Amino acid sequence: MSKSSNLPVVTLHPGKEKPVRQRHPWVFSGAIASVDGQPAAGDLVDVAAASGEWLARGYFNARSQIVVRLLTWEQPEPCDVDFWRRRLVAAAARRAALAADPDTTAYRLVYAESDAAPGLIVDRYGDWLAVQFLTAGVEARRELLLGLLAELCTPAGIVDRSDASVRRQEGLPLRSGLAWGERPPADLELRENGLRFPVDLLGGQKTGFYLDQRENRRIVGQLAAGRRVLNAFSFTGAFAVNALAGGATHVTNVDSSYDALLGAEAALRCNRFDPDRQAEGVAGDVFQVLRGFRDEGRVFDMVILDPPKFARSKAELTGATRGYKDINLLGLRLLAPDGLLATFSCSGLVTADLFQKIVFGASVDAGRDVQIIARLSQGADHPVLLSFPEGEYLKGLLCRAA
């Protein structure tokens, strides 16, 4: 192979190059025969087939199971500042329609591997950006990337929310704080589907708001007229606000986090809904609270179940399956005849097929005939590359229970 780049070379075992040729961006440790040139974490490397043929270029981290994350399949393309600038410009251009929509000021600007920028997540919240550097490769380029984001997006400030636990798998510490520019106000207001939400970018969960549910919240809102809504795992009540805006008669938010419920009250007030008359917040474990509702004979016309990721690893899959089944069974039991269930799973390991089977199991136990009205997914600002199906994680079913 030509050594024109002078980068360290990672050579694959025979027969392991197919995913690389098909542009899957991950090279796992088991595929690697040798590493020449002693790259450090985050360094660029060339990847070669067992025959010596050049295949791709990416960044390296021996501490991760994913030893190389691929950046380019074009041998002459250097992975320098201009390379990253092009990637960020392209990702932003794909969101031009969202950027032009005055009803939505918050969206994912860069979705890591799915936007050909492995390890990098950038969310836009009006004049601020929230960034996650999830791998050693982007961590090593942190200053460069912050500089480019400041130059290209001209934000008021950039918040670093690199406190996602996946960083530990890369040997990186967790970190969060202001990275550039001005501190966002703790009650920064974003707009989504024409509604208003205060968001605490420095103190909130994840990057402050679950942007991936925007489209599903709109759909739920459009179906909520005249319904009593149970919003389980409510976080700051974004589904509830959409439901009330769509004409729901009352919403019940349930979350284990008291702070999240306070955020929900603020979001309701922000949209001129009365948190006492039109809504209630119940702090507690959804599994227990829903059992309590059942014992009290409470009934809802719409139930939303948006739990956190139950399956973080294959070892957790059985327990997660049981958890999803339990909440769906409890949710179905609380539904009035012809009630609507909007049920989600954000566990990548739970496939859409498995999720449907789980909800089916719950419907059998609940003794309800359930129709799927729509299959739901993450919003278009969280695109899924066909060559990287791992980028798809959020799935939902909108169901009607007879």
Catalytic positions, please? Answer: 346
User: Residue 287 and residue 158: Cα distance in Å, rounded?
Assistant: 37
Stretch that binds ligand SAH, among 33-41, 108-116, 249-257, 313-321 (CB under 6 A): 249-257
Q: How far is the CB of 305 from ligand SAH (least distance, A)?
A: 9
Q: Identify which of residues 11 and 231 has a Cβ nearer to ligand SAH in the complex.
A: 231
Q: Which among 125, 103, 113 has a CA at the least distance from the CA of 66?
A: 113
Stretch that binds ligand SAH, among 97-105, 252-260, 268-276, 394-402 (CB under 6 A): 252-260
DSSP characters over 97-166: HHHT-TT--EEEEEEGGGGT-TTEEEEEETTEEEEEE-SHHHHHTHHHHHHHHHHHH--SEEEE----GG
Q: How far is the CB of 327 from ligand SAH (least distance, A)?
A: 9
Per-residue x/- marks for ligand SAH, 194-233, CB under 6 A? Answer: ----------------x--x-------------------x
Using rule CB under 6 A, residue 239 touches ligand SAH: yes
Count of residues that bind ligand SAH according to CB under 6 A = 16
Q: How far is the CB of 142 from ligand SAH (least distance, A)?
A: 27
Phi–psi pair at 371, nearest 5 degrees: -105, 140
Q: Identify which of residues 43 and 326 has a Cβ nearer to ligand SAH in the complex.
A: 326
Q: Which among 355, 359, 376, 220 has a CA at the least distance from the CA of 300?
A: 220
3-state secondary structure of 199: strand
Q: How far is the CB of 129 from ligand SAH (least distance, A)?
A: 20
Stretch that binds ligand SAH, among 6-14, 68-76, 183-191, 256-264 (CB under 6 A): 256-264
Stretch that binds ligand SAH, among 44-52, 63-71, 182-190, 255-263 (CB under 6 A): 255-263
3-state secondary structure of 93: helix
Q: Identify which of residues 26 and 197 has a Cβ nearer to ligand SAH in the complex.
A: 197
Q: Identify which of residues 128 and 233 has a Cβ nearer to ligand SAH in the complex.
A: 233
Q: How far is the CB of 110 from ligand SAH (least distance, A)?
A: 21
Each residue of 316-344: b (16+ CB within 10 Å) or e? ebeebbebbbbbbbbbbbbbeeebbbbbb
- Compute CA 179 distance to the chain's CA centroid, rounded to the nearest angstrom: 22
Packing angle, helices 286-296 and 317-333, rounded to 10: 30
Q: How far is the CB of 94 from ligand SAH (least distance, A)?
A: 23
DSSP characters over 264-327: HHHHHHHTT--TTTTEEEEES-HHHHHHHHHHHT--EEEEEE----S-SSGGGHHHHHHHHHHH
Residue 230 · residue 300 · CB < 8 Å: yes
Q: Which amino acid belongs to residue 310?
A: F
Packing angle, helices 238-245 and 214-222, rounded to 10: 30
Residues in 260-319 at the binding interface with ligand SAH, rule: CB under 6 A: 260, 285-286, 306, 308
Q: Identify which of residues 262 and 385 has a Cβ nearer to ligand SAH in the complex.
A: 262
Using rule CB under 6 A, residue 256 touches ligand SAH: yes
Structure tokens at 387: 């060559």
User: Scanning the structure block, which residue is given the tokens 């996946």?
Assistant: 166
Q: How far is the CB of 301 from ligand SAH (least distance, A)?
A: 18
Q: Identify which of residues 104 and 213 has a Cβ nearer to ligand SAH in the complex.
A: 213
Per-residue x/- marks for ligand SAH, 340-369, CB under 6 A? Answer: ------------------------------
Binding site for ligand SAH (CB under 6 A): 210, 213, 233-236, 238-239, 255-257, 260, 285-286, 306, 308
